[in-house]
Structure 1
């Protein structure tokens, strides 16, 4: 039997590109995109689309039954910086949507669930360098708190009910195709756009703030790879550490100057600096590499070349 996939939050930064890739892999009609608002022209024209509030179990189940969905990718979430402004809304969206999907899986309406966690699940007391798979997790943000809680709900539903739920702790995700959605690592997306449009950039983090990052192509590949892996290879049912590169705003600016020599950057840290300071600088993702064969393709140099090449033609 062929898989039919439902993506909740398909209009988000990762959701847009994940939808495109899954439609190539599974066939356009077998990947149902959904969000609380209507998607863009490309998404609507390339396959089925449904309006779904991800906190409504009834509505999700209705669509699951309509299309005989076998897999759900739950990408709907309120990210770190936005959730700090609306903490109760952030908690409600992030938790209610996950529990709705886990319940649908427990009731055997679907076979497999993907839910993303984040490096935000770590906190100020977690080791900053080579942050291990299992370590102290005391997050200081609403987003991080919701991710730690979500990881344990995933593990609980797997242990208690046999739900096949899989998860990755994303680092900061960088893409030139889709704009970011209110995260603390968003500067690393905006900097490329501003460099090409204005030749200058004001960064909301200090110049030496080192954070784990990943190019969108690698993030999408990892997401699909963990879902396609044999179930017996998935040893961790909370969430897997995932890493590719770590860099500072100063380092990314220097890389951009290779292509735009006159580019200038100013630093004006805001409330997001405190969030960034609570997160890891370098993450140990050896479990993902050992268990299901994760390998990243892009580093800072190759990513910058790819982004600037593509953005020049886009802009």
Structure 2
């Protein structure tokens, strides 16, 4: 039997591009996109789409049964910066949606679950350099608290009920196809748009704030790769560290200026600086590389060329973000 995939939160930053890629692999009719609201016309016309509030377990089950879904990618979440403004709403959204999907998997309505975690699980007491797979995790944001809690729920449902749930701790994700969605690492997306469109940018982090980052193409490939890996190769049922590159706002600015010499930047750190300061600078993802052969392709130089050459193209107008 071929897999049928349901993506919850398909209109988000990662969900839009993940949906596209999965449809290329499995076929448009085998990948059902869903979100709490409709995406744009191009997105809706590319394959099946359903309106789903991820807090409504019965609605999720209804769509699973309608399409005979075998895999669920739960991409819906409230991110770090937005979550700090609405902490209880963020907790409810991030945790209840996961528990709904895990329960549906436990009851054999679906065979496999993907749920993304984040570097936000780490806190100020975690090692900042080469942050290991297993270490102290004392997050300081509601987003991070919900993600570290979710990791333990994933592990619990796997060990107690045999649920095949897989997860990655995403670093900051950078893409030219979708605008930022409320995360602390969003400056690394916005800076490219501002450089191309306005020639100047005011950064909400200090110039020497180093954070782990990844180009969207690598994040999508890692997500699909872990889901296609053999069950016995997935040894971490909390979540895998995932890494590609780390840089500061100053370093990304210097790379942009190689292409746009007149580009200028100013710095005005806000509440997101404290969040960023609590996160790792460089992630050790050797477990993912050893267990299921993860390997990134994009570094800062190559990513910058891709971003600046694509922003402003017609393709950029086809997708929208939350």
Secondary structure of the equivalent of 2:313? helix
Distance in 1, matches of 2:192 and 2:5, equals 33
Q: How many residues align?
A: 315
Task: Compute the TM-score of the two structures, normalised by the length of structure 1.
Answer: 0.99
Secondary structure of the equivalent of 1:33? strand
Q: Which residue of 2 aligns with 1:33?
A: 33
Segments of 5+ residues of structure 2 without an aligned counterpart are: 317-322
Distance in 1, matches of 2:43 and 2:19, equals 8
Distance in 2, matches of 1:42 and 1:151, equals 34
Q: Which residue of 1 aligns with 2:320?
A: none
Distance in 2, matches of 1:282 and 1:212, equals 6
Matched, 1:287 2:287: yes
Matched, 1:141 2:141: yes
**Residues 60-89 of structure 1, C-alpha deviation per residue, up to 9 Å, x if partnerless?**
000000000000000000000000000000
Q: Which residue of 1 aligns with 2:319?
A: none
Report the RMSD for the aligned CA atoms in angstroms.
Answer: 0.7
Q: Which residue of 2 aligns with 1:226?
A: 226
Matched, 1:106 2:106: yes
1:1-315 equivalences under 5 Å are 1-314=1-314
**Residues 250-305 of structure 1, C-alpha deviation per residue, up to 9 Å, x if partnerless?**
00000000010000000000000000000000000000000000000000000000
Distance in 1, matches of 2:41 and 2:282, equals 38
Task: Compute the TM-score of the two structures, normalised by the length of structure 2.
Answer: 0.97
Distance in 1, matches of 2:312 and 2:178, equals 15
Distance in 2, matches of 1:188 and 1:244, equals 14
Distance in 2, matches of 1:189 and 1:41, equals 24
Secondary structure of the equivalent of 2:45? helix
Secondary structure of the equivalent of 2:169? strand
Secondary structure of the equivalent of 1:16? helix
Secondary structure of the equivalent of 1:265? strand
Distance in 1, matches of 2:198 and 2:58, equals 47
Structure with the larger RCO, 1 or 2 (CA within 8 Å, 6+ apart): 2
Distance in 2, matches of 1:161 and 1:36, equals 29
Distance in 2, matches of 1:161 and 1:286, equals 28
Secondary structure of the equivalent of 2:23? helix
Distance in 1, matches of 2:5 and 2:268, equals 42
Distance in 1, matches of 2:133 and 2:168, equals 11
Distance in 1, matches of 2:313 and 2:85, equals 36
